[in-house]
Amino acid sequence: MKLENRLKDIQIALKLADWFSTEEQVDYNADLSLGHLFVNGKIVFNDYTVLEFTESITPDGLRYRYQYMEGNGNLIFRYDNVPHHPKLSTFPHHKHDKNKTTESGPVDLKQVVEEIIDYYIIG
């Protein structure tokens, strides 16, 4: 995975979110020569829902968490690849909804932002 491409994809996702958000906070920590990238951020959408996200890329692989919630902190959904649901066919990738955990392929920030806009903001 090219880190420069991942950074570009994250920036594209943030530009997309700009149209539907009131606040964005993003911290980057990267050492491209070592193949390390850490991104931590928060997007507050116009309807006061919040997406908190973390991506960590190292030579060992990608770890991610995209947590979308109501303004009061109640979970709407979360995608992550923490390896704690080994019985799912998409292990370690999965999605948490309010009351269940379901299979999910790997996702990135742009896909999550698009899902939020399409199904929760516009939909």
Q: What is the pTM of this model?
A: 0.94
Predicted confidence band at 1 (pLDDT cuts at 50, 70, 90)?
A: low
Q: What does the pLDDT look like over 14-36, one tens digit per residue? A: 999 999 999 999 999 989 888 89
Number of structural domains, the chain? 1
Average pLDDT for residues 49-65, to the nearest whole number? 96
* Residue 121: predicted pLDDT: 87
pLDDT (tens digit per residue) in 86-117 = 999 999 999 999 899 999 999 999 999 999 99
Phi-psi region of 48 (alpha: psi -120 to 50; beta: other; left: phi over 0): left
Please state the three-class secondary structure of the chain as a single string: CCHHHHHHHHHHHHHHHHCCEEEEEEEEEEECCCCEEEEEEEEEECCCCEEEEEEEEECCEEEEEEEEECCCCCEEEEEECCCCCCCCCCCCCEEEECCCEEECCCCCHHHHHHHHHHHHHHC
Structure tokens of 87?
Answer: 């019985």
Give per-residue pLDDT as tens, 62-86: 999 999 999 999 999 999 999 999 9
The domain in which residue 96 lies consists of: 3-122
pLDDT (0 to 100) of residue 43: 98
The reported pLDDT for the residue numbered 51 is 98
pLDDT value, residue 22: 95
